[in-house]
């Protein structure tokens, strides 16, 4: 076992982890943050997407121990985030959710897109979402929701470090 210290959703967390334990398993099993879903466990589906140091990242491809000293945000940690509030509302209004399995990772990625790109158009969003798999919606409602959120936010930008 190895000691791991990181900032998780704004709070310092210290845990003992197996060196081979993925960040996704750490979040779900040790921290009980179950919005991080495991789909393919190969980085292809995007269901496990979280933000590490503010950047959307596949948590199934990252070992937990690699996050030593870093900041990790899951969907649970973005409950009061103003960008996420707008995204959630537009996902609801645009019927961008069906089974909901991909939704947490999709929301994290949507937030990342809006932080990097002011007012993205539908094609840009489709390109940016190419690593996120949704088997239910056909992406139309998801793209519509992100476009609408981008317009409402007027181009939210990632704060400079």
Domains of the chain: 2-77 (3.10.20.30), 80-153 (1.10.150.120)
In the three-class reduction of DSSP (H, G, I as helix; E, B as strand; rest coil), residue 92 is classed as: helix
* Residues in CB range of 13: below 8 A, 6 or more apart: 4, 5, 6, 7, 31
What is the pLDDT confidence band of residue 77, given thresholds at 50, 70 and 90? very high
Residues of the chain above pLDDT 90, percent = 92
What's residue 154's pLDDT? Answer: 87
How far apart CA 141 and CA 99 sit, in angstroms, is 13
What's residue 158's pLDDT? Answer: 55
Instruction: Encode pLDDT of 136-145 as tens digits.
Output: 888 999 999 9
Q: In the chain, count H helices and then E strands.
A: 5, 5
Instruction: Encode pLDDT of 81-126 as tens digits.
Output: 999 999 999 999 999 999 999 999 999 999 999 999 989 999 999 9
Question: 53 pLDDT exceeds 50?
Answer: yes
How far apart CA 144 and CA 156 sit, in angstroms, is 17
């Amino acid at each position: 076992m190895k000691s791991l210290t990181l900032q998780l959703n704004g709070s310092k967390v210290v845990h003992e982890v197996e060196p081979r334990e993925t960040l996704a398993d750490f979040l779900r099993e040790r921290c009980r943050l179950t919005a991080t879903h495991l789909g393919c466990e190969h980085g292809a589906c995007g269901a496990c997407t979280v933000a590490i140091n503010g950047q959307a990242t596949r948590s199934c491809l990252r070992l937990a121990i690699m996050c030593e000293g870093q900041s990790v945000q899951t969907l649970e940690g973005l409950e009061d985030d103003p960008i996420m509030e707008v995204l959630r509302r537009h996902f609801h209004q645009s019927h961008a959710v069906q089974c909901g399995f991909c939704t947490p990772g999709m929301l994290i990625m949507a937030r990342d897109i809006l932080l990097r790109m002011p007012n993205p158009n539908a094609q840009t969003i489709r390109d940016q979402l190419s690593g996120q798999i949704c088997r239910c919606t056909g992406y139309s409602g998801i793209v519509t929701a992100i476009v609408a959120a981008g317009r409402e936010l007027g181009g939210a930008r990632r704060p400079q470090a």
